[in-house]
Amino acid sequence: MNLLDGYGMDTITMAGPLEAKLEAMKSVGFSQVMLMARDLVGHPGGVKAAVKAVQKSGLRPTGFQVLRDFEGLSGHLHSYKVDIAKSMLEMCAATGSKVLLACSSTSRHATEDLDLIAKDLKKLAMMAIPLGIKVAYEGLSWGRTVNEFTTSWDVVCRADCPNLGIGIDSFHIFAAKTPLDAIEDIDPDRIYLAQLSDFMWHETPSFEERMTTARTFRVFPGEGVHSDQLADLVLRLERIGYRGDYSFEVFNDDYQQLPLETVAERARKSATWLHQDVLHRSAPLPSWASTSKRSAI
Amino acid sequence: MNLRTTDREAVPEMPNRLGIQGIEFIEYATNRPQALGQVLEAMGFRPVARHRSREVTLYRQGGMNLVVNANPDDARVSATVDGQAEISAVAFRVQDALKAHTRCIDLGAWSVASHAQAMELHIPAIHGPGGTRFYFVDRWQEFSIYDIDFKPIPTVDQHPAAVESMSYFGLVQYIGSARSQDWLAYYEHMFDFSVIADEERFGILPKGKLMKSPCGQFLWQLIEPDPWMEADEAPESLKRIGFGVKDVAQAVKTLKTNGVEFVESKELHPEDRGALTRSALGSVSFELVHQSV
């Protein structure tokens, strides 16, 4: 049992080749990784080589990101997105990831009808079933129709499909200032991904500000100005019974310029803060104290 | 007033939007077709026709059609390990094959590309669990699809009677752990299968979840690995066929004279409710299930 077992990093936080990112995460003690499609398709050896690198690292994929703007389209746009979704699902399955992250649509071509949005997400979830994949639907804070977790949960309930759940992302919750009380309405077993990050601004009123901040200036939990809220969010998730993974989705232009070990170390500190100071979980006992390892005398 | 009698009790009608009317054929993939043929013949199947362009043989007994696919160009055949035959497809009889296929694709199924040669039937299909396929066949009343793609084997009875009137009763699908709800939702949504209560079971292997086809002609059993078998990462698959039979004891007796062996342990042995054949070729077993007419 490792203190960091329930936490992981997103590859998007670091610069460099996939193998170096995986190695950096592993070196500070992480045992899982949130992958993105670009890790695979941008790998110099191609998708197969990238999959091998993930398998060789021994890191468990937390999930695979990201399918964008899938829902609410019609005609040829819908067919096009179904093809894209299939490729994403195939790559997701190839890496051994059990969760595909799908973000709420920003497209002005998409319908605002929540029932039609739910219907499309159910289709996506059905496509994922034979591959053994769950779909985590996340409300982007600049999503056109779905931009809060309360609405993404509403849509997931309307779709009513066991492998369709929501993805929680602290950034979008704080950016949209969604009251945290609504966490209690969510079935913890249907939260398929919880991504955490903080940021430095108190206010992000416009969609443009949210987008810029989300894509360039997020920081690890505990490093920004929303630490108390973030702690509150994690404690609420804990209280409703969420026992899944926490992944740090930290888009940050500065971190893209730092040595990978430095970034991974910041992530480790953040996970330790969450684990010990927020969740008040004890550090694991050293291995010599574990009774299961004791040899019979 | 024009109330129909059924309105009084709101009896729900089972939807059957694909117009499923039973199983047209079940397909095995193997690179050892003769070895599998022997196993099938012991179970009462007879080879009746061969495919015109591929290494595929049609077996039959009573109303059951079974196809053995040994076409070396088929990835599902080359994927079979050490000649271990696997159930590679199930073909459903439907009202309109194109409509059924289109509906399933609209609902999120993955289409299978057709490899039909000139003058052969294009049977629309979707991907099933593992590397399997579900075919949709609508021409089962006016004429036989096998007349087009297959050549009858000369001098062989094209319609051999079934051993003890056996018929397709259902399929057993092995699924990953905690996957029951996913597959229940999938089959309910795609094919209008409905869940059977946990108390209602047939045969001697009652584990897992059981579903019924909307036509009521066959069952579908979903079995997860046991909780203590966490390391069981075997791919999901269609594990075995169940045959319905009126008199299990009589069928067991007849099949034993054909050389079929049955599992006879303290916990599991032939009885009135059903019986299980010993695995042949490492992976092929069949289940007999008592079926009242």
Q: Per the domain annotation, does A177 fall within a domain?
A: yes
**What is the predicted pLDDT for the residue at A283?**
67
Residues in contact with B202: Cβ distance below 8 Å, sequence separation at least 6, in sequence order: B169, B210, B219, B273, B274, B289, B290, B291
Q: Per the domain annotation, does A25 fall within a domain?
A: yes
Query: What band does A126 get if pLDDT is binned at 50, 70 and 90?
Result: very high
Q: Per the domain annotation, does A127 fall within a domain?
A: yes
Q: What total of structural domains would you count in chain A?
A: 1
Q: What is the pLDDT of residues A181-224, one digit of tens each?
A: 999 999 999 999 999 999 888 888 888 888 888 888 899 999 99
| Cα torsion through A131, A137, A143, A148, rounded to 10 | 180
Q: Per the domain annotation, does A93 fall within a domain?
A: yes
A73 touching chain B per CB within 8 A: no
Q: Per the domain annotation, does A91 fall within a domain?
A: yes
Q: What is the mean pLDDT of residues B105-109?
A: 98
Question: What domains are defined for chain B?
Answer: 23-152 (3.10.180.10), 163-290 (3.10.180.10)
Q: What is the ipTM of this complex?
A: 0.91
- Chain A interface mutation, best of B102, B104, B106, B110, highest count of A Cβ atoms under 10 Å: B110
Q: Per the domain annotation, does A123 fall within a domain?
A: yes
B269 touching chain A per CB within 8 A: no
B258 in Cβ contact with B40 (< 8 Å): no
Q: Strand pairing partners for A126?
A: none
Q: What is the mean pLDDT of residues B47-75?
A: 94
B188 touching chain A per CB within 8 A: no
Nearest Cα residue in chain A from B133? A130
Q: What is the mean pLDDT of residues A113-126?
A: 98
Q: Which residue from B108, B179, B236 is facing A127, i.e. has the nearest CB?
A: B108
Tokens of B293: 């007419």
Whole-number percent of chain B with pLDDT over 90: 73
Q: What is the mean pLDDT of residues B78-93?
A: 86
Residues of A with CB below 8 A from B108's CB? 122-127
Residues of A with CB below 8 A from B184's CB? 162
Q: Per the domain annotation, does A261 fall within a domain?
A: yes
Tokens of B255: 């099949």
Whole-number percent of chain A with pLDDT over 90: 87
Q: What is the pLDDT of residues A146-159, one digit of tens each?
A: 999 999 999 999 99
Q: Which residue from B106, B127, B184 is facing A130, i.e. has the nearest CB?
A: B127
Q: What is the pLDDT of residues B197-250, one digit of tens each?
A: 999 889 888 899 999 999 999 999 999 998 877 666 788 999 999 999 999 999
Query: How far away is chain A from the Cα of B232, in angstroms, using its nearest Cα?
Result: 15
Higher pLDDT, B215 or B293: B215
Q: What is the pLDDT of residues A226-280, one digit of tens each?
A: 999 999 999 999 999 999 999 999 999 999 999 999 999 999 999 999 999 999 8
Q: Per the domain annotation, does A105 fall within a domain?
A: yes
**What is the predicted pLDDT for the residue at A295?**
40
Query: What band does A296 get if pLDDT is binned at 50, 70 and 90?
Result: very low
Q: Is residue A297 pLDDT above 60, yes or no?
A: no
Nearest Cα residue in chain A from B236? A130
Whole-number percent of chain A with pLDDT over 70: 95
Domain with A70 in it: 7-284
A176 in Cβ contact with A182 (< 8 Å): no
Nearest-angstrom CA–CA distance, A16 and A22? 10
A9 in Cβ contact with A248 (< 8 Å): yes
What is the average pLDDT value for chain B, to the nearest integer? 91
Residues of B with CB below 8 A from A127's CB? 108-110
A125 touching chain B per CB within 8 A: yes
Q: What is the mean pLDDT of residues B43-61?
A: 96
Q: Is residue A1 pLDDT above 80, yes or no?
A: no
Contact yes or no for B108 and A86 at CB 8 A? no
**What is the predicted pLDDT for the residue at B75?**
80
Q: Is residue A72 pLDDT above 60, yes or no?
A: yes
Nearest Cα residue in chain B from A162? B182
**What is the predicted pLDDT for the residue at A284?**
66
Q: Residue A161 belongs to a domain with what CATH number?
A: 3.20.20.150
CA A265 to chain centre: 19
- Chain B interface mutation, best of A71, A78, A126, highest count of B Cβ atoms under 10 Å: A126
Residues of A with CB below 8 A from B129's CB? 130
Q: What is the pLDDT of residues B158-201, one digit of tens each?
A: 999 999 999 999 999 999 999 999 999 999 999 999 999 999 88
Name the H helices within B139-265: 146-149, 180-191, 248-257
Residues of A with CB below 8 A from B179's CB? 132
Q: What is the pTM of this model?
A: 0.92
Query: What band does B11 get if pLDDT is binned at 50, 70 and 90?
Result: low
Nearest to B207 by CA among B276, B120, B150, B264: B276
A237 in Cβ contact with A186 (< 8 Å): no
